[in-house]
Structure 1
Amino acid sequence: MKNKSFLLLIFLTFTLSHQAEAQLFKRKKKKTNVSGFVIEEAPDLEKQEKQLQRRLVNPIRKTINRFNFSIEKGVGYFSYRNPLTDVSVIRDPRGDLLYIVPLDEEQGLTTPINAFDNWFTDLTPIGIERIDDDSHIVRTDTSSFTYNNNGRINPLTFRFSLSLKKLDKGHYERTKEKIYLDDDMIRIGGGIGFGSLKFRNPASTQDVSDLLRGYTLPETKLSTTKLFGSLSYNLYTLGDYSIHADVLGGVWKVKAKQVNKEVVNYDPFFNIGVMFQMKFSKYFKGYIRPSFEMRSYTVSNDLVNIQHKFSVFSIDLGLLFKYPIYPRNKYKADQVQMEHIFNNKIYRGRPFYRKQNPRFGQNRIRRKPNG
């Protein structure tokens, strides 16, 4: 009897213990693709990696790094065209005076005659009571009449842009994970540019009449400013070299002192260029940018409308800077050249203008010891 009671006690104890363990196992059990039982929850490695990155990388520096600052200095050549329409061009040989009048006014049908001798930067009226019989007259409705000139320009441009990175397609095809390279795929930005249009000849010439000769320019140098938006697209990358299609567009104007802004209206300008870029480091790049630009303005009032067109070809040398994601370690004994972790922070071991992560021993930087 005693043995039966003892066996019953052991059976009850085993049953209660098994039920308690089963309840504990249910609380810990998670769904898994692996056959069998999982006692502990697997750590979320992706979450841990993000937390580590947030702790090691300054988020402000990471955000600023997406932006670029560029400075460009160039040399260029421009051709100038001044097509005249709906006017008559007249030269009085006695006073050697060149001026324009609206069509049909050269016939003396109106008194006084509306004549202008400056249609380049203003519409300056001059007093003409009658047109002399020996004056040379060309009507622009009977012949294509254009004054031509050329000159040079030395542009200076400052630009800010936002980078959209290039996707690592090979890694994505293998793992379906989106990893972005250091190379920019697209840059969207804008900036400001300066440059003086310096005419080579003090007088614009035409091919219609030798008797009319040239038109002496009131200004041979026009100081200009432009504001623009820009879009750059990475066409091709090979190692440290890349080719970008670069398009600018915006507004421009001549210095207010040089023109009568009451009668001058500016058309938007467009600039198309190709940027041949070399990467010195992740944060510093250089490039050469040949480009073609078209800009124009009109001088008009109720009587005449005169257009001035510029076609500009220039070659710019540019430098592009990025704010580094990782700072340099101020501890001089740390001479690691690669990006590395030190005191729970990531540092770069090279100046911003040198390549990062070189092989050991290449272009080693020797810092001066403390003393």
Structure 2
Amino acid sequence: MSSVGGFTVQEALTPEERKKAMERQLVSPVRKFINRFNFNIEKSYGYFSYKSELTDVSVVRNPRGDLLYIVPLGEETSPSNAFSNWMTDLTPITINRIDDDSQIVRTDTTSFVYSNNGRYNPLSLRVSFSLKKVDKTHLETTGERRYLEEDLLRIGGGIGWGKMKFRNPASTQDVDPFLRNYTLPEQEISTTKMYGSITYNAYSLGDFAILADVQGGVWKTKTSQLNQELVTYDPFFNVGVMFQRSFSKYFKGYIRPSVEMRSYTIANEQVSVPHNFTIFSIDFGLLLKYPTYPRNKYKAHMVQMEHVFNGKMYRGRPFYRKQNPRYGQRRNSKKEPGSSFSIRKDKKGDKGND
């Protein structure tokens, strides 16, 4: 900007500057920023396999009283540390001596694993932030960086709740038939998890997209179900693939097959017992975005496309429907007062009203 003979001469804006100035006038920057966030709700239906490999202990079955317990290696003759519950707590029991007819298996001589399986149907909520794809063709042609509606990355986090329900009331092992099964102290475990996530758009075509989705975080069980003073939870990891369908710019649905690994360990100074879960699930999810443009309270009932009204940008349709269709006006059948004609109701709209 310069001054000549008392007149102020302002330099002309570049096309990019004019475009940004127009966007600031037509679109609320707050709505535009909030639109970058995604709100997900997911309901999962899954199956888990459970394995607990015992190490550095001997497993003992006393036929009298049908008592099953573990002792540290080396204490098979005069045990001073014996435990009958090693899944949710390390419950001590008093054993003066191991009877001669008791069945004993040392876990340093053979791999000893108790296994089980069951159902896991959690519910989770997630919030993520979108990084958009760059329109490469437009960038190469004009040198102007323009972003597409499609997401390139979503970075976020969430929280989930669910119950692991074991199918069998006892875990089984195939090492020694005389030791038989381990009766579960809890057949249902309530869990909570918190996690971060990264979602990458690997392929998209029209309204469909395939996204790689990775989650990782922490989890725990209900306080009353596991002894929290003895339990250590390992971080969990979840890898899935989203098959996504876009119903509009602000509303999407997806199916997400996934596999998740999680584990915890019950331990004290004498013994340590790991518990491992592998979860296979199919997640059904909905993704919502806050609309960039508000609904026009005055004109949206007649204008179906996104449009400018009184210096602001508006949308003419609900958030869950296509926002800028190429065909006619909203489907109405209202007769104007004093008019001799009515607006015809047409499922496909009136193509002459674009």
Q: TM above 0.5, one fold?
A: yes
Equivalent AA in structure 2 for residue 266 of structure 1:
Y
Return the match for 2:23 from 35, 53, 58.
53
> Aligned letter for 1:128?
I
Unpaired segments of 5 or more residues in structure 2?
Answer: 338-354
Q: Which has the larger radius of gyration?
A: 1
**Aligned pairs (5 A) from 1:97-246:** 97-108=67-78, 113-246=80-213
Q: Secondary structure at the match of 2:32?
A: helix
Gapped runs of 5+ residues in structure 1?
Answer: 1-22, 30-39
Report the AA paired with residue 17 of structure 2: K
CA contact (8 A) 1:332 1:369 kept: no
Q: Secondary structure at the match of 1:306?
A: strand
Deviations 1:90-118 (CA, angstroms, capped at 9, x unpaired): 0110110000000010122x5xx210000
Instruction: State the shift of 1:49 in Å.
Output: 2.6
1:82 corresponds in structure 2 to 52
CA contact (8 A) 2:116 2:168 kept: yes
Name the CA distance, whole Å, in 2 between partners of 1:43 and 1:144: 76
Question: Which residue is equivalent to 2:34?
Answer: 64
Shift in CA distance, 206/73, structure 1 to aligned 2, threshold 3 Å: same
Offset at residue 233 of structure 1 (A): 0.3
| Pair 234,133 (structure 1): closer, same or farther in 2 beyond 3 Å | same
8 Å CA contact retained: 1:332, 1:370: no
Residues 332 and 367 in structure 1, CA contact (< 8 A), matched pair in contact too: no
Identical positions, percent? 66
1:345 to 276, 293, 312: 312
| Native 8 Å contact 2:300 2:317 kept in 1 | no
The structure carrying a bigger helix percent of its residues is: 1
Give secondary structure in 2 for the equivalent of 1:326. coil
Structure 2 equivalent of residue 37 of structure 1? none
TM (normalized to structure 1)?
Answer: 0.86
1:365 to 309, 331, 336: 331
C-alpha contact (below 8 Å) 1:193/1:225 kept by paired residues: yes
SS in 1 for 2:24: helix
CA distance in 1, matches of 2:131, 2:259: 25
Q: CA RMSD in A?
A: 2.0
- Secondary structure at the aligned position of 1:256 is classed as coil
Query: Relative to structure 1, is the Cα distance of residues 216 and 24 closer, same or farther in structure 2, using a 3 angstrom cutoff?
Result: closer
